[in-house]
């Protein structure tokens, strides 16, 4: 079957695509930035179409000739009038699919109570489902709640809340009933949905076998992680907005993600019926219980086998355009800080240090300043430094790296990071390793460049305010990275 997957760079889509390929489907993906798939293991196995769901012409090109469409995008982290954007995207997919003769649409929506006053984000997801169901194309809407898997937003929030706080003063939603579902089981339903008979056109609730209060989810995690169970006190005074600030401070989840998740937890979100079983039977081994799903997620994280993560999604408000080439800087106000160091270390040794930067290793200079910048970013609703990195030694294009995003990776030579911290402008950091010398005395040359395009007066004042620290931070970073490369390769500096 020929299928189109939207949201292929997201947490669910990035896991579904290789499974669709393995199942023998001919897969096409619609993405806004194809370069983000350059380093993905399955990129050569799919057809990539560039475009945005709000562009009806791009959607028309993407659905042409396909049998089924997976709609796996939503604006949970988006700001502004995201409801109008989601409405436009859903209508475009619905109309284009009907015109192209698509035989099945599969949409992953949100589990929600009937008759309740839903949050804006849940309400929007419900509306997207209704628009797709009314398209004239047979549609299955799978409504899932908290998804448990290595790298999922829900799992990360549970994990960090439990690990950081020995005692948890919590909002009232810790008493809400939740029916979590393992990522493995979500993928089971998604894969099977394209083969459902055409007369099926409706929404189905999906959930795991367990129903817990949210506080019990946290203590269930504590048991599996070998931690002492945490006493929890529900406080009636914490509004979703205030709770979002609290979650933003103690977890790596940025406020724009935390608030919609918390808003969705204000109500009991449990499966109303098991009608899905008559259409898509559960996995042969049964649905995964919550604690076993946590156990598997922890094992995958410890083994460094996280396939996708919430970190993979771009951050709203962060620069989305790649760094213009130097000749294209004409007409821009641009500030640049450049550093160069020569080292007897081999280029391979230098590159290993460059690719391992960030996360637990830090940024090789003035750690207090980096920590303070990360804390300020979180306080203002940014991602902060808590995102870390997915693998301790290897990076891929599109990876999140603390409050940066890997924009370009020429392995062995160039690492370009795009800033996703809150900053009045657009910022990048480039780290390069080049051979230096010839014959048997080949060392390396380290090139470091910070580039900033200020936005208005605030951007210029920001750059000038931090300029005195550049000599410490950027110079120290260049010195420490080359010194680390020399130490790892057993060489000593003979002069620069």
| CATH number of the domain enclosing 417 | 3.30.530.20
Give residue 317's pLDDT.
47
Q: Do the domain assignments include residue 26?
A: yes
CATH assignment at residue 25: 3.40.50.720
Q: In this structure, are 135 and 277 located in the same domain?
A: yes
Eight-state DSSP code of residue 323: P
Burial 337-352, CB ≥16 within 10 A → b, else e = bebebbbbbbbebbbb
Q: How many Å apart are CA 71 and CA 195, to the nearest integer?
A: 16
Tokens 């929506």 correspond to 109
DSSP per position, 256-272: HHHHHHHHHTTS-B---
Q: Which of 93, 169, 104 is nearest to 131 (CA)?
A: 93
* End position of a domain, from candidates 312, 347, 366: 312
Nearest to 148 by CA among 74, 239, 214: 214
pLDDT value of residue 493: 47
User: Tell me, what's the pLDDT at 494?
Assistant: 42
pLDDT score at 492: 54
SS3 content of the chain, % helix, strand, coil (to 5): 40, 20, 40
Which residues of the chain carry a pLDDT beneath 70?
75-80, 165-173, 233-246, 248-252, 254-256, 302-333, 438-440, 491-496
> Do residue 365 and residue 264 come from a single domain?
no
Residue 318 belongs to some domain of the structure: no
41 by Cβ neighbours in 10 Å (0-12 / 13-18 / 19+) ranks as: exposed
Please identify, among 281, 312, 343, the residue that sits at the C-terminal boundary of a domain. 312
Domain shared by 297 and 330, yes or no: no
When the pLDDT of each residue in the chain is averaged and rounded to a whole number, the result is: 84
Neighbours of 437 (CB within 10 A): 12
Question: Crossing angle of helices 82-100/56-63, nearest 10°?
Answer: 40
Residues 6+ apart with CB under 8 A from 380: 422
Residue 150: per-residue pLDDT: 82
**For residue 144, what are its two tokens?**
């899932």
Residue 100: the pLDDT is 97
**287 and 337: one domain?**
no
Same domain, 298 and 346: no
Domain of residue 32: give its range.
Answer: 2-312
Residue 250's pLDDT is 66
- E strand segments, 21-124: 26-31, 47-50, 68-71, 104-110
Burial class (CB in 10 A: 0-12, 13-18, 19+), 175: middle
Q: Shortest CA distance to 318 belongs to which of 425, 420, 408, 453?
A: 420
Same domain, 467 and 344: yes
Tokens 């896991």 found at: 15
Strands 68-71 and 104-110, by their bridges, are parallel
- Regarding whether 360 and 286 lie in a shared domain, the answer is no
Tokens at residue 28, please?
């096409």
Q: Helix (H, G, I), strand (E, B), or coil: what is residue 404?
A: strand
Q: What does the block give as tokens for 61?
A: 């090109």
In the chain, the number of structural domains is 2
Q: Are residues 175 and 281 in the same domain?
A: yes
Residue 320 belongs to some domain of the structure: no
Instruction: Mark whether 349 and 305 lie in a shared domain.
Output: no
Side-chain half-sphere of 424: how many Cα atoms within 13 Å? 14
């Amino acid at each position: 079957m020929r299928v189109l997957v939207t949201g292929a760079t997201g947490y669910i889509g990035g896991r579904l695509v290789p499974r669709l390929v393995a199942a023998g489907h001919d897969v096409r993906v619609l993405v806004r930035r194809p370069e983000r798939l350059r380093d993905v293991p399955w990129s050569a196995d799919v057809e990539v179409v560039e475009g945005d769901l709000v562009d009806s012409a791009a959607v028309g090109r993407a659905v042409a000739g396909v049998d089924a469409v997976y709609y796996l995008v939503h604006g949970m982290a988006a700001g502004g009038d995201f409801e109008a954007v989601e409405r436009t995207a859903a209508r475009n997919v619905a109309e284009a699919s009907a015109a192209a003769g698509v035989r099945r649409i599969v949409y992953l929506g949100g589990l929600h109570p009937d008759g309740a006053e839903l949050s804006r984000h849940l309400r929007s997801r419900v509306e997207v489902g209704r628009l797709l169901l009314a398209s004239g194309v047979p549609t299955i809407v799978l409504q899932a709640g908290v998804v448990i898997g290595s790298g999922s937003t829900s799992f990360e929030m549970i994990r960090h809340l439990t690990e950081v706080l020995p005692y948890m003063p919590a909002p009232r939603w810790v008493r809400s009933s939740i029916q979590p579902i393992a990522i493995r089981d979500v993928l089971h339903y998604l894969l099977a949905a394209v083969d459902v008979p055409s007369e099926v056109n409706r929404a189905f609730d999906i959930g795991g076998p367990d129903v817990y209060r949210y506080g019990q989810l946290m203590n269930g995690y504590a048991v599996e992680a070998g931690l002492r169970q945490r006493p929890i006190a529900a406080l009636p005074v914490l509004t979703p907005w205030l709770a979002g600030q609290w979650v933003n401070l103690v977890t790596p989840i940025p406020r724009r993600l935390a608030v919609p998740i918390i808003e969705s937890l204000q109500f009991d979100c449990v499966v109303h019926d098991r009608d899905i079983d008559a259409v898509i039977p559960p996995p042969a081994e049964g649905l995964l219980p919550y604690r076993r799903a946590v156990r598997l997620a922890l094992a995958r994280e410890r083994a460094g086998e996280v396939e996708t993560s919430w970190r993979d999604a771009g951050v709203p408000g962060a620069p989305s355009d790649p760094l213009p080439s130097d000749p294209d800087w004409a007409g821009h106000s641009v500030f640049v800080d450049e550093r160069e160091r020569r080292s007897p270390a081999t280029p391979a040794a230098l590159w290993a240090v460059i690719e391992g930067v960030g996360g637990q290793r830090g940024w090789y200079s003035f750690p207090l300043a980096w920590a303070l910048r990360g804390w300020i970013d979180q306080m203002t609703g940014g991602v902060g430094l808590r995102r870390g990195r997915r693998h301790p030694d290897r990076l891929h294009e599109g990876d999140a790296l603390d409050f940066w995003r890997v924009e370009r990776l020429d392995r062995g030579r160039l690492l370009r990071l795009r800033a996703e911290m809150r900053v009045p402008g657009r910022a990048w950091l480039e780290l390069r390793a080049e051979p230096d010398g010839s014959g048997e005395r080949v060392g390396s040359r380290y090139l470091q460049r910070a580039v900033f395009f200020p936005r208005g007066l605030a951007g210029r004042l920001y750059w000038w305010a931090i300029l005195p620290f550049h000599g410490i931070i950027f110079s120290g970073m260049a010195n420490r990275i080359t010194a680390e490369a020399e130490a790892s390769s057993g060489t000593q500096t003979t002069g620069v």
